[in-house]
Structure 1
């Protein structure tokens, strides 16, 4: 007899204190992947999670070493060769908690306030991964886990996913068994509606610097004579755009697979107005190429953004110098169909061509993350998730989101496993991921657990109708 949503909710309510205790332990690990000072904490977190999965789910679990030293967790059960296989991807690493003085409580000691659990990683991605694990534990306890599960949980999503990317070729045979990739590292626009993320953009980036002066120069003695790296870098960056903010890098818009009319119509149903966007971002949606639709700019077109710009004196008052060097951090979000590797190569080539030859140009930190990914509107898994989210959210139709952000490894996971993605997340804007006072709504956690348990049960039963 199929499990009801009410029964799953009852499990959550009856085991609430245990769930929170376990979740808080998971959150206590300072598993910051971007800082080598936290390597021992990262390993401790991986070992704790491995033990949790082994003891609570009775899965076979192994820590897979990576080239970066940040271990990858691979866990599997086995229900039978004739059973469907679900691959889940998540990550146990977190962003740095800086600045600490902006937190209202210790970022690595979970605290519940106003129906939310506050800690670094509470939502991204420990919280969403943990409700998946608890949903699977519930199904194990009910003897209702009737499909094969592969858990792939990495420890460096926040710093580029290099280790898992390098490990994928050796995991290909294992991952090819998957009939679907489930990702819960996304969110929704409202606490009253669920959401399915139908697409993600790819990502790439680099650092560019101009210098070559012997040192900072006196701006009176050398002003008007010595080339100013800050001015020249600003000019270089400005030359990458035309007056409508269209990117002028040759080939930057090649190979884009445009959205269908149906996809664009669905994207426009998202309840985002200019005024709402201004409330969220603090400014109206005036960025990107002028004359292009908001949803095209946000979800379907590539971008070139300046993430950081630095040069010269930054202290109080005036210091009259010509700075020795100037730096900029650039990143691109690539559209579905594009190669992030090709785009970053084109950007690098354009910068080299346009940079002044009388200053020293350095291009470093060149990285090409994953490519964009897109789910099919007619996918039976998407349709099933829509129906189930409507039940979980008391009859409210879910939102379909073509997200502008990236989860670098998802595209390569789909290619390696030769399967399609289903991206269903329960995060909200107010969760403050990557910022001080990150939190996760316990109501959203509950909904995520209920959705996952029921979806996995239904996924397993689909084979009977295939």
Structure 2
């Protein structure tokens, strides 16, 4: 592959360019970094221009800019829309970083910096893959569009608006995304599912004041008792969610998909030991990887109320609170799930308690068919470079914009990740293994050629 020579000859130059981008603290969640966000967007636009892309734009939104570019000179050939994001997570706690998060450093074959694997490093691979193809062949094997946003880490509030207003402009035969990881070193994976999400907060009130447990205990409702009883009703003894209709829209796992999970060779006993657990827990009838990747969940993220100071205070609390999130799969409707959880809570609350429910986040799950020929070509491309064909997986996390892009454009999303699970994305000492930097470039080129 002549592109491989191009990558080898330009490796230090490419890494120096990536270091420039990683040095920009483009933290989307912190308003004081607005100028850094704008600089990072312009850097991406300039890199696309240098790579040979055309119609490069930095598009202002109500929040952070979107960067667009295209190269549409392959008539009759497929069009790939390459999506990624240039915004990054905050860096706290700063004292746990071995080197400053925005001063990229290579140690032990790994590039350390915030954004190195999520997602500047991975979308950078696509920019350089296109650059190499144009430099070596003077043309691309397919039509290519880029859409790089600056708000993924804050749930992409403005990209769906842009997508709805510019559907024809973004029209493609597939969405190509690198924002996930290999299963482990040398073991590539293609995610065919990302779980959706919904969340709610629960406030439960009883009397209009806290009460003395000696004077009132046993004769009035206790907010903590009422809340604990209510939350316990959300699951049965087999680990299933007890909310009526919660599993509506959940598709059964096919034998082929379950076999893909088996091929991962996941060591549940090792995980149990690593986490210091007596045993794992979850919905009966499913393995750990199935539970966390392909089954829906309802989790308590916070429960509080009453006296929590040192010593004892004999009080009957007047209020108690909980935060709940659900990970959703396949065709579950997040609004419907929220409504049914709220109905369940109201139906099961103890007499004498008043319930207040606040519905918050809603995001659909992403699901695609691994037998799609485009995904099969992606698996083949990994095999050409890594010597191991990619396995098809389902990831437990959520990237809501993936489902939106796939649904609005009516095309498959190809999740070709090149990170590793232990690269500390969202945590101190985030890094990107340079072995996958090198192999990722070749895999993307191989995939685009195969189309």
Task: Report the TM-score when normalising by structure 2.
Answer: 0.90
Matched, 1:387 2:374: no
What SS does structure 2 have at the residue aligned with 1:256?
coil
Matched, 1:130 2:124: yes
Equivalent residues, number: 450
The alpha-carbon distance between structure 1 residues 109 and 257, as it changes in their structure 2 partners (threshold 3 A), is: same
Matched, 1:408 2:400: yes
The alpha-carbon distance between structure 1 residues 60 and 251, as it changes in their structure 2 partners (threshold 3 A), is: same
The alpha-carbon distance between structure 1 residues 355 and 457, as it changes in their structure 2 partners (threshold 3 A), is: same
* CA deviation profile, 1:157-193 (whole Å, cap 9, x unmatched): 22222211233211211233x1111111111122122
Residue number in structure 2 paired with 1:345: 339
What SS does structure 1 have at the residue aligned with 2:263?
coil
How far is 1:207 from its partner? Answer: 2.3
* CA deviation profile, 1:249-276 (whole Å, cap 9, x unmatched): 1111112222222222222111202123
Matched, 1:102 2:91: no
The alpha-carbon distance between structure 1 residues 343 and 26, as it changes in their structure 2 partners (threshold 3 A), is: same
How far is 1:115 from its partner? Answer: 1.0
Query: Which of residues 40, 57, 62 is equivalent to 2:35?
Result: 40
The alpha-carbon distance between structure 1 residues 381 and 55, as it changes in their structure 2 partners (threshold 3 A), is: same
Matched, 1:277 2:268: no
State the alpha-carbon separation in 1 of the partners of residues 450 and 15 from structure 2: 27
CA RMSD between the two structures: 2.7
Matched, 1:453 2:445: yes
How far is 1:340 from its partner? Answer: 2.3
* CA deviation profile, 1:308-365 (whole Å, cap 9, x unmatched): 3344566666666655644332221212122223222222332333334644533335
**More moved, 123-132 vs 161-170:** 161-170
**More moved, 34-43 vs 200-209:** 34-43
Unaligned runs of 5+ in 1: 460-466
Does the CA-based 8 Å contact 1:64-1:74 persist in structure 2? yes
State the alpha-carbon separation in 2 of the partners of residues 127 and 161 from structure 1: 19
Query: Which of residues 50, 59, 78 is equivalent to 1:55?
Result: 50
Query: Which of residues 145, 152, 160 is equivalent to 1:165?
Result: 160
**More moved, 70-79 vs 284-293:** 284-293
State the alpha-carbon separation in 1 of the partners of residues 94 and 209 from structure 2: 34
The alpha-carbon distance between structure 1 residues 352 and 155, as it changes in their structure 2 partners (threshold 3 A), is: farther
Residue number in structure 2 paired with 1:336: 330
State the alpha-carbon separation in 1 of the partners of residues 70 and 208 from structure 2: 59
Residue number in structure 2 paired with 1:28: 23
What SS does structure 2 have at the residue aligned with 1:431?
coil
State the alpha-carbon separation in 2 of the partners of residues 314 and 440 from structure 1: 42
The alpha-carbon distance between structure 1 residues 365 and 49, as it changes in their structure 2 partners (threshold 3 A), is: farther
Matched, 1:91 2:73: no
Does the CA-based 8 Å contact 2:193-2:365 persist in structure 1? no
State the alpha-carbon separation in 1 of the partners of residues 22 and 288 from structure 2: 37
State the alpha-carbon separation in 1 of the partners of residues 425 and 272 from structure 2: 19
Question: Any residues of structure 2 matched to 1:261-410 within 5 Å, and which?
Answer: 261-278=255-272, 281=275, 283=277, 286-311=280-305, 325-356=319-350, 358-364=352-358, 366-377=360-371, 379-393=372-386, 395-410=387-402
What SS does structure 1 have at the residue aligned with 2:322?
strand
How far is 1:221 from its partner? Answer: 6.8
Residue number in structure 2 paired with 1:442: 434
Does the CA-based 8 Å contact 1:275-1:284 persist in structure 2? no
Does the CA-based 8 Å contact 1:336-1:372 persist in structure 2? yes
Does the CA-based 8 Å contact 2:261-2:290 persist in structure 1? no
**More moved, 358-367 vs 120-129:** 358-367
How far is 1:138 from its partner? Answer: 1.4
Does the CA-based 8 Å contact 2:338-2:359 persist in structure 1? no
Query: Which of residues 107, 111, 114 is equivalent to 1:120?
Result: 114
* CA deviation profile, 1:363-407 (whole Å, cap 9, x unmatched): 335121132312332x222222222211211x2232221222222
